[in-house]
């Protein structure tokens, strides 16, 4: 199967997570993704661990493995004449270039936007930064946790306002990668009409602010500053995590009909003046949680989940990741990919969230490529570009 993006060539100059996640997504969709890495160590995330897997001397970081499948790895020093020539040839043949340097770095390497489009007017350039490519703080380095704090996400997350808490995954990086892909696909669609590429820009700051959703509007429209409420919804009640006799469950009572059914199941008077409407339930949330948990603690979580399902109340477990990946529903969605890594051997990776038509696997490929060892495809790509092998580095040991 060719894939929806078959024939699209992506040059991936990124490292860490935001850019690599975007490149991996494009690869999942069938694009040819050529990842250019520095010869000394490659992508920063190759060294991020433990955990590492593989034999000593040929170990791979699980962090790197998580976001670099369906790519080819080419090594080049972009400050050298040979590296600049390789990048020039790649740009001439590419459809997309991904970069997450600080603003101005690519230009100082000799590849400002004007030069890139001189080499290839059809090129779509996706530039990812920490805080935007301009503005008074556009030159700041971007790391996910810093951006989660600066962009307000940590102030909304955690048990209470005194304990700002990061999300358990680098969500700013992942959202930035996703937004990059959205912009790239839109630019490729425009190019199909105009024949010209353009620059797509996104950042950790914009990606996190872009998912503030109703919390953002609480401030911009209503003038309220949201704060962390732990595991309960600020505008809907009951909606959150509740404790049973053995383990917690999550329950979402999203409308008045569900409230009446839920109240009847737990033996709560649905027209109690404290709880009769959602507004009253939010106002008296702490009292409501106490009443609910008093009832729920009378039985175990599995028994309550069965009753809630039978009554039509949305509810669920709080699973650990080993449980998630062993769950048949996860497997049924093609969310685990088996690949054969040439130094590590067979590995299982979290899969793509996208499925098309009736495919039983995630992404848009019937065969996924393992994350590449550093420089694995240098010789093949240089031959494809018509470049001779570089002269040996006299300083190399």
Which residues participate in catalysis according to the annotation? Answer: 173
Structural tokens at position 346: 């067979």
Identify the CA nearest to 167 among candidates 110, 113, 121, 208.
208
**Residue matched to tokens 């917690």:** 248
Q: What are phi and psi of 381, to 5 degrees?
A: -70, -40
Burial annotation 20-30 (CB, 10 A radius, 16+ → b, else e): bbbbbbbbbbb
Alpha helix (H) residue ranges in the chain: 18-28, 62-66, 81-93, 105-108, 113-119, 144-150, 171-194, 204-209, 213-220, 256-266, 278-283, 285-296, 301-311, 321-326, 328-332, 378-385
Q: Which SS3 state, helix, strand or coil, does residue 218 take?
A: helix
Cβ atoms of 35 and 59 closer than 8 Å: no
Q: What angle do CA 77, 30, 102 make, to 5 degrees?
A: 35
Q: How far apart are CA 172 and CA 387, in angstroms?
A: 38
Instruction: Assess contact for 130 and 124: CB atoms under 8 A.
Output: no
- The Cα–Cα gap between 234 and 275 comes to 15
Selection from 152, 142, 145, 141 nearest residue 167 by Cα: 145
Instruction: Check: CB of residue 361 under 8 Å from CB of residue 338.
Output: no
């Amino acid at each position: 199967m060719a894939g929806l993006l078959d024939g699209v060539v992506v040059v991936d100059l990124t490292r860490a997570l935001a850019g690599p996640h975007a490149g991996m997504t494009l690869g999942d969709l069938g694009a040819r993704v050529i990842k250019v890495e520095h010869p000394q160590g490659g992508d920063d995330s190759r060294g991020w661990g433990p955990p590492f897997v593989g034999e000593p001397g040929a170990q791979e970081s699980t962090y790197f493995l998580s976001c670099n499948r369906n790519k080819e790895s080419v090594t080049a020093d972009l400050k050298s004449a040979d590296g600049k020539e390789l990048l020039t040839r790649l740009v001439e043949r590419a459809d997309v270039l991904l970069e997450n340097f600080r603003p101005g770095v690519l230009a100082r390497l000799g590849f400002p936007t004007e030069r890139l489009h001189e080499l290839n007017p059809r090129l779509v350039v996706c530039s990812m930064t920490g805080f935007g490519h301009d503005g008074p703080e556009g030159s700041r380095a971007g790391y996910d946790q810093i951006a989660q704090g600066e962009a307000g996400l940590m102030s909304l997350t955690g048990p209470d306002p005194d304990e700002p808490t990061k999300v358990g995954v680098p969500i700013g990086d992942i959202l930035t990668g996703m937004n990059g892909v959205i912009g790239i696909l839109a630019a490729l669609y425009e190019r199909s009409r105009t024949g010209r590429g353009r620059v797509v820009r996104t950042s950790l700051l914009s990606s996190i602010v872009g998912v503030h959703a109703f919390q953002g509007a609480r401030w911009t429209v209503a003038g309220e500053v949201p704060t962390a409420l732990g595991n309960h919804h600020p505008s809907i009640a009951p909606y959150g995590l509740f404790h049973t006799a053995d383990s917690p469950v999550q329950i979402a009572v999203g409308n008045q009909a569900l409230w009446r059914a839920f109240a009847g199941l737990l033996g709560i008077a649905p027209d109690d003046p404290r709880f009769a409407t959602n507004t009253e339930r939010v106002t008296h949330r702490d009292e409501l949680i106490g009443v609910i948990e008093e009832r729920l603690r009378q039985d175990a979580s599995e028994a309550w989940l069965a009753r809630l399902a039978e009554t039509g109340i949305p509810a669920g477990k709080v699973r650990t990741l080993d449980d998630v990946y062993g769950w048949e529903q996860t497997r049924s969605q093609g969310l685990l990919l088996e690949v054969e890594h040439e130094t590590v051997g067979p590995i299982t990776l979290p899969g793509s969230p996208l499925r098309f038509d009736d495919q039983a696997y995630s992404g848009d490929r019937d065969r996924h490529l393992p994350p590449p060892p550093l420089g694995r495809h240098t010789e093949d790509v240089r031959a494809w570009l018509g470049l001779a092998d570089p002269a040996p580095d006299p300083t190399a040991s």
